[in-house]
Amino acid sequence: MKKHTFIRLMFLVVLCFFSFQIQAQTGSCVSPQYQDGTAYQTGDEVQNFGKQYRCKVGGWCSLGGPYAPGGTAEWAWPSAWEVLGTCDGGNSNQSPMVKINSPVSEDQFQSGEVVIIEAEATDQDGNVISVTFFMNGVEIGVDTSAPFEFRFSPMDGNHIITAVAKDNLGATTQSKEVDIKVTPPSGGDCSSSPYVNGTSYVTGDEVQNFGKRYRCKVGGWCSAGGAYTPGGSAEWAWPLAWEELGPCTGGNTPPEVTVLTPSIVYTGALPVTVPFRVRAIDADGIELPVIVNVPEGSFPLDPKDDDIYERDWSFSDYKTYTFTGYARDNREGVTNFSIEITIKEHISGGDAILSEAQYNEFFPYRFGTDLDTFELDPAKDFYTYQAFIDAIARMSNIEITFERRKGTNLYRLTRKDKQTNQSSVIRIDQDFNADWNQSKPIITQVVDYGTFANEGNETIRKRELAAFLANIAQETTGGWDTAPGGRYSWGLYFREEQGYEGTDRIGYRDENNINYPPAPGKSYHGRGPIQLSYNYNYGQVSEFLFGDKNILINNPEQVVQDGALAFQTAIWFWMTPQYPKPSAHDVMVGNWTPTVYDQERNRKPGLGMTINIINGGIECGSGTEFIKVTHRIGHYNRFTGIVGVNNDLDTTNDCSECGCAQMTPYTTLEPESRTATTQTLALTKMNIYPNPFLDTVSFSFELYQRQNVSIHVSSLNGKRLDKEIKNKPLQKGTYTFSWDTSNYAKGIYFYSVTMGKDTKVFKMIKF
């Protein structure tokens, strides 16, 4: 793994004044324009947003989205791209001018209200060809002709709106930021005072949130938001600030909306049709049409079975699209939602990313090999190349939507057959909709099993395949150090767990499992490439593959009667996330970003992380690599050599990411993962000194990425004092400022810092 050297920048930050100077190289931009979804190699140079960039890590450069050079996701793209300087264009072209005329900063809107962004854009020496609109750094729409405007219904909360104008020569300019706030509608006994994150509350204030009423006990904490949100998941924090008064009576619960639209779609040809798809449920009312806003206006989704609303939409470009929408009930309850879809170009590697010759080189001594002649008997060959290809083709028709209650392992699963376009709910855990769970938000992930070894550029796809096959090779190995071809040529040698093949033994039965009870007389011992074991795993994979848990529960022996089905069970395990574990697929293709909690436990993308997912409780975290891990690495290095790709995700080839001895294995539920954009506070070093203090106290913090920062100090009763910083964009570096409290009384004060949507509050004591 490459090590990055961070230059620590020291700034003096005064509450009422900031001053920065930024210098950069300039040069003529002769490089091609960056295109999201294009495959890039290490060393490729592109231009984007008026700057030149050089690709540092080919795999990441090809991912697009947050890895687009110069984008707003500064936690991601600088790891992939190096900034070479700003473009002078090589000519006298002047950049366009753009400003947002409406809305203006501090405008407020209600849920469901349509916001019209109106921008004015001009170009002195050419013409403006487009204005792209952004909310919180994410593109939400584009207009290619004046008057430049976009209509949408933003979700509740505080948002930053910007517009980027582009002229006919490719020069771009971003407008000033406009801050807006969207609040839920009032009305009803409980709805009269909805809690709004970021609002200043004083002791005694009453609010409603998550269907319950709360009274503020400590104004300073009540105003902090974040972990102090009343009724939130941080039960170590908010009860200190709020008193729960009981459930709402007479109020209206707005519809619950879950977005089921796939977030990434690969296609080899444009335009491509993708359905907008959501589930909308209203516990105490009747849903009215679910509306989605598009650049051309708004339209309702068509109601389907199982509370599903759906409508097809055509996409004509390879890029990320963001749409907003809302569901409204008959009692004026409104829930806003957003849909983000990235259309990526499918990069063809031929009919298959792995040829039959390469597959046979991987597994020359697989199941069916005669131990006297060391030759493979075609009549006994179970793990054939064709079975592997057939398994991939079968899996390509399956899409699963995972809906999980935050902070739990309770799921609702919806299976979609992509051939027939038919969907059905295949599992709802018993307490998923329990009363005590209703207030917990639903986290959704759509998994397209057709992306197995089919996501990213050719290098990424081959490396994922090598990692997958290396892991199943170790699970089924029959090799030894002096074996013909070497130990690592003997993967896929066993079809069933040793001691069970060819016997009537019965084992691995969980007799007490309610959801997946074992069938009489059936054994659920390890079968297939991943050695699928226990009735509950046979039941789950049967639900995913067939939509019916009983097919493999009643007939587990099918796994060793159909080679393609055997491979399907392994692909299922590889592709399926198991919270808090990500899927091994997402790890190898770059979709998984370690949280702060993961980083503290040395979890990082690479082969080692896939081992942690598959068998980390036994093989990882010991401080030294287990022999099984070294064998997995041996298979992996052999396979990556055959297909000609490097073995690490950072384009190095030292296998520094292959082991898991230093990784903490997964044992139970963990703190809920936050997206990278909300990890800033946890990644930021903060300090207050001295504390307690007499007259002067100093605050310091170090930013590892550019971030909008808000700071204020409040008294014990929640009153904000006269000095504050509001949503100030700060660059990476270290900041320090001091507060003179000589005119303030002794007592307790609270220092609150907000970065993005995350807030931390520190208690200070003045003597």
Other beta carbons within 10 angstroms of residue 639's beta carbon come to 27
Question: Amino acid identity of 190?
Answer: C
C-alpha distances in Å from residue 603, one per residue of 408, 574, 575, 610, 611: 21, 17, 18, 10, 11
Query: Letter for the amino acid at 226?
Result: G
CATH 2.60.40.10 fits 97-183, yes or no: yes
In this chain, the answer to whether the domains covering 97-183 and 256-346 adopt an identical fold is yes
**Please, where are the H alpha helices in 671-712?**
680-683
Cα(631)–Cα(472) distance, rounded to whole angstroms?
A: 11
Pick 373 or 158 by higher pLDDT.
373
Alpha-carbon distance of 23 to 19, in angstroms, equals 14
Read off the pLDDT of residues 685-743 as tens digits, 9 standing for 90 and up: 667 778 777 888 888 877 655 667 888 787 765 667 766 676 677 776 777 878 888 88
Cis, bond preceding 103 (omega within 30 deg of 0): yes
Residue 368 contacts residue 388 (beta carbons within 8 Å): no
pLDDT band, very low/low/confident/very high, at 18 (cuts 50, 70, 90) = very low
Decide if 651 contacts 606 (C-beta within 8 A). Answer: no
Neighbour-count burial of 391, counting CB atoms closer than 10 A to its CB (0-12 exposed, 13-18 middle, 19+ buried): buried
Q: Which CATH class is domain 397-451+494-575?
A: alpha beta
As a whole number of angstroms, the distance between CA 437 and CA 431 comes to 7
What is the pLDDT confidence band of residue 88, given thresholds at 50, 70 and 90?
A: low
Quote the tokens at residue 750.
Answer: 């609270």
Q: What dihedral do alpha carbons 37, 43, 47, 52 form, nearest 10°?
A: 150
pLDDT in tens, 438-449: 778 888 888 999
pLDDT higher than threshold 90 for residue 68 = no
Integer angstrom CA distances of residue 618 from 22, 212, 467, 684: 51, 44, 19, 33
pLDDT of residue 35: 72
pLDDT at residue 329 tops 90:
no
Residues labelled as active-site residues: 475
Ranked by mean pLDDT, the top range of 8-12, 163-167, 612-616 is 612-616
Out of 189-198, 464-473, 578-587, 593-602, least confident range: 189-198
User: How far apart, in whole angstroms, are the C-alpha atoms of residue 728 and residue 707?
Assistant: 8
Q: What tens digit of pLDDT does each residue of 514-542 get?
A: 999 999 999 999 999 999 999 999 999 99
Distance CA 246, CA 208 (A): 10
Parallel/antiparallel/unpaired status of strands 178-183 and 212-216: unpaired
471: how many CB neighbours lie within 10 A of its CB?
Answer: 26
Span 504-512, mean pLDDT? Answer: 95
For domain 256-346, give its CATH number from 3.40.50.1370, 2.60.40.10, 3.30.479.30, 1.20.140.10: 2.60.40.10
Quick check: 330 pLDDT over 70?
A: yes
Q: Is the pLDDT of residue 558 over 60?
A: yes
Q: Mean pLDDT throughout 749-755? A: 77
Q: Domain residues of the chain, as ranges?
A: 44-86, 97-183, 205-247, 256-346, 397-451+494-575, 683-766
- Is the pLDDT score of 339 beyond 90? no
Contact assessment for residue 585 and residue 575, using Cβ atoms and an 8 Å cutoff: yes
Q: Is the pLDDT of residue 101 over 80?
A: yes
Mean pLDDT of 100-113: 86
Look at residue 568 and tell me whether its pLDDT is greater than 70.
yes
Residue range 410-430, pLDDT digits in tens: 999 999 988 887 888 999 998
Please compute the mean of the pLDDT values over residues 28-42 and round it to a whole number.
71
Q: What is the C-alpha to C-alpha distance for residues 147 and 656, in angstroms, rounded to an integer? A: 54
Alpha carbon 422 to its chain centroid, in Å, reads 26
Query: Could you tell me which residues come within 8 angstroms of residue 119 by beta carbon, excluding any fewer than 6 positions away?
Result: 98, 99, 100, 101, 131, 133, 143, 148, 149, 163, 165, 175
pLDDT digits (tens, 9 = 90+) for 283-316: 766 667 788 888 777 889 999 887 889 999 999 9
Q: In the CATH scheme, what architecture does the domain 683-766 have?
A: Sandwich (2.60)
DSSP-assigned beta bridge partners for residue 708: 729
Q: What is the CA radius of gyration of the chain?
A: 28
State residue 30's pLDDT score: 67
**Is it the case that residue 7 has pLDDT exceeding 70?**
no
pLDDT at residue 12, rounded to an integer: 27
